């Protein structure tokens, strides 16, 4: 039995991840792509297309929540227009209430009659008053309206294990107890299903400035009290590293072995002191963002290598539970609200991220873009009763065909996109076999000035029909405004053809395209 156990462990460690290679060709020419259409691999978890809603700026208040007495059309206080827009994404999972806010949030402040809920100061985000009118019941009502899973971030930084334990009991226990009866008293007879529970957030920073060794012990203590009541199965997620910090990952995997662990990675053209403007930028700043976005591939690989060292059976799931672009605050917006516009540049960056997440679906099981409404790389922007969807929203809508599909290996040989002596691959790709049996290929052209011709071979499949959609614009900084909310939106990708069993397509510059092949 001992020998069998060793063999199983070795075989688990030697499991080959999906091979999706990209090569820059030395001589510029037609880009070529080979997809192994007859060899579907791991399922792309729908939760990779997850989202994040924090009590930050106008994400919750004015973005998602207007209250039941608002003149803005709503369902039990939740904006109807935002709800309908998010439904079209097949939004699979939503993370809440933070972010940094999570480690100062005490959940009992957000239950019971709204007029009796305490008013607190949101010390992380603008020192504004938080009236707690949007709490546990309102959030889980939103999840049910969206048909999505809930990812709760618990308070480790300023909370107690007892507080976390009571919250889980309040939400998930279907029986006779103090917390379950309190839930019923507050209007919810049956418990909710909670798929993910995060044990703190960014505990290396705003969540307590902890060392990984200290947090590993804290995590083990707190997660002990997250109980699985009858009929309930919660995945306990640990706070993982910031970006490339593999030491944090190493300590967590060696000491704690969590069920899931999150990594945060944001990109910008500049640095944290001056991130750059969301809408006023040059090609050098465009190139900088593309280069930094592409680093996610190596960051994922490095963390997976550390995880595999301690977990060769891959029981720990990897989450990228905060990601996206981060720009200087929009001029005229409130300090600490992190409101920013969203251009074609953000859309191409999002397409790259999602392609890389798809390609490592062997280990990555959930991701959460920051954030859903009015904050950072948002899906939706609101202004009073007005609402618009962003270029990034359109990328998620186009890519939803990958949700639950089977990853297909790909081999891309492409031209370089060069700038001031540096170069990156001009194209980025992922492919899947959808649940409907069609093959879906998502392609990003990173070059903002040069279209790209591509020739695609599908091994194991004879294509008979192909169609495609593309998101692009005339300028790098094109974006949607309340005066022109459809300036950037998907269109049919013209000129795709099948010739000699190959697909031929011309991808516009600065574009995100999705092909459907039968």
pLDDT of residue 302: 97
β-bridge pairing 196-199 and 406-408:
unpaired
What confidence tens digit (pLDDT) does each residue in 81-91 have?
999 999 999 99
The catalytic residue positions are 202, 322
State yes or no: pLDDT of 92 exceeds 60. yes
Token digits of residue 76: 């039990």
Token digits of residue 114: 């709204």
Per-residue pLDDT, averaged over 136-154, amounts to 98
What confidence tens digit (pLDDT) does each residue in 105-126 have?
999 999 999 999 999 999 999 9
Q: How far apart are CA 368 and CA 91, in angstroms?
A: 10
Fold that domain 46-404 belongs to in CATH: TIM Barrel (3.20.20)
Helices within 324-372 (DSSP H only): 344-359
What confidence tens digit (pLDDT) does each residue in 168-204 have?
999 999 999 999 999 999 999 999 999 999 999 999 9
State yes or no: pLDDT of 426 exceeds 70. yes
State yes or no: pLDDT of 6 exceeds 70. no
Confidence category of residue 444, pLDDT binned at 50, 70, 90: very high
State yes or no: pLDDT of 13 exceeds 80. no
Fold agreement (16-41+408-517, 46-404):
no
pLDDT of residue 153: 98
What confidence tens digit (pLDDT) does each residue in 227-274 have?
999 999 999 999 999 999 999 999 999 999 999 999 999 999 999 999
β-bridge pairing 427-433 and 439-445:
antiparallel
State yes or no: pLDDT of 27 exceeds 90. no
Three-state secondary structure string covering 434-469: CCCCCEEEEEEECCCCCCEEEEEEEECCCCCCEEEE
What confidence tens digit (pLDDT) does each residue in 57-68 have?
999 999 999 999
Residues in the chain: 518
Exposed (0-12), middle (13-18) or buried (19+): which is 291, by Cβ within 10 Å? middle
Per-domain residue ranges of the chain: 16-41+408-517, 46-404
Q: How far apart are CA 35 and CA 361, in angstroms?
A: 17
> Token match 């400035």: residue?
209
Summary count for the chain: helices (H), strands (E) = 11, 28
Residue 221 near residue 161 (C-beta atoms within 8 A): yes
What confidence tens digit (pLDDT) does each residue in 320-371 have?
999 999 999 999 999 999 999 999 999 999 999 999 999 999 999 999 999 9
What confidence tens digit (pLDDT) does each residue in 460-492 have?
999 999 999 999 999 999 999 999 999 999 999
pLDDT of residue 28: 86
State pTM to two decimals: 0.95
pLDDT of residue 227: 96
| Average pLDDT across the chain, whole number | 95
Question: Is 2.60.40.1180 the CATH number for 16-41+408-517?
Answer: yes
pLDDT of residue 20: 82
């Amino acid at each position: 039995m001992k020998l069998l156990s060793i063999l199983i462990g070795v075989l688990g460690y030697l499991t080959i991840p999906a091979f999706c290679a990209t090569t820059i060709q030395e001589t510029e020419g037609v880009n070529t792509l080979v997809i192994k259409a007859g060899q579907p691999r791991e399922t792309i978890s729908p939760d990779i297309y997850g989202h994040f809603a924090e009590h930050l700026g106008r994400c919750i208040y004015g973005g998602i929540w207007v209250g039941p007495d608002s003149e803005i059309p709503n369902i039990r206080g939740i904006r109807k227009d935002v709800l309908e827009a998010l439904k079209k994404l097949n939004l699979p999972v939503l993370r809440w209430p933070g972010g940094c806010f999570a480690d100062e949030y005490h959940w009992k402040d957000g239950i019971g009659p709204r007029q009796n809920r305490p008013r607190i100061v949101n010390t992380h985000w603008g020192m504004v008053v938080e009236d707690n009118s949007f709490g546990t019941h309102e959030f889980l009502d939103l999840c049910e309206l969206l048909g999505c899973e809930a990812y709760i971030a618990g308070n480790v930084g300023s909370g107690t294990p007892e507080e976390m334990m009571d919250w889980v009991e309040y939400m998930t226990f279907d029986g006779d107890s103090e917390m379950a009866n309190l839930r019923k008293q507050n209007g919810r007879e049956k418990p909710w299903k909670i798929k993910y529970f995060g044990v703190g957030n960014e505990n290396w920073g705003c969540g307590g400035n902890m060392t990984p060794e200290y947090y590993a012990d804290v995590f083990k203590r707190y997660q002990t009290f997250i109980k699985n009541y009858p009929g309930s199965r919660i995945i306990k997620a640990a706070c993982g590293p910031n970006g490339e910090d593999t030491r944090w990952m190493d300590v967590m995997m060696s000491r704690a072995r969590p069920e899931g662990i999150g990594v945060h990675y944001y990109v910008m053209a500049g640095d944290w002191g001056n991130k750059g403007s969301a809408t006023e930028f040059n090609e050098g700043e465009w190139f900088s963002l593309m280069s930094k976005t592409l680093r996610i591939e190596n960051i994922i690989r490095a963390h997976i290598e550390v995880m595999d060292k301690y977990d060769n059976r891959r029981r720990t799931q990897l989450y990228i539970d905060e990601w996206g672009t981060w720009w200087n605050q929009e001029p005229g917006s409130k300090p600490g609200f992190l409101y920013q516009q969203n251009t074609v540049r953000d859309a191409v960056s999002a397409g790259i991220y999602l392609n890389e997440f798809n390609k490592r679906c062997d280990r990555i099981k959930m991701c959460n873009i920051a954030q859903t409404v009015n904050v950072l790389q948002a899906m939706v922007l609101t202004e009073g009763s007005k609402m618009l969807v962003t270029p990034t929203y359109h990328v998620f809508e186009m890519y939803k065909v990958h949700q639950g599909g089977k990853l297909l290996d790909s081999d891309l040989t492409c031209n370089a996109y060069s700038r001031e002596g540096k170069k990156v691959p001009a194209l980025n790709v992922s492919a899947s076999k959808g649940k409907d049996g069609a093959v879906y290929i998502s392609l990003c052209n990173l070059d903002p000035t040069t279209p790209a011709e591509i020739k695609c071979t599908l091994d194991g499949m004879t294509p008979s029909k192909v169609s495609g959609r593309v998101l692009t614009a005339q300028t790098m900084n094109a974006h949607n405004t309340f005066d022109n909310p459809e300036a950037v939106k998907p269109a049919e990708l013209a000129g795709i053809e099948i010739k000699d069993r190959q697909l031929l397509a011309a991808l516009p510059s600065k574009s995100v395209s999705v092909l459907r092949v039968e």
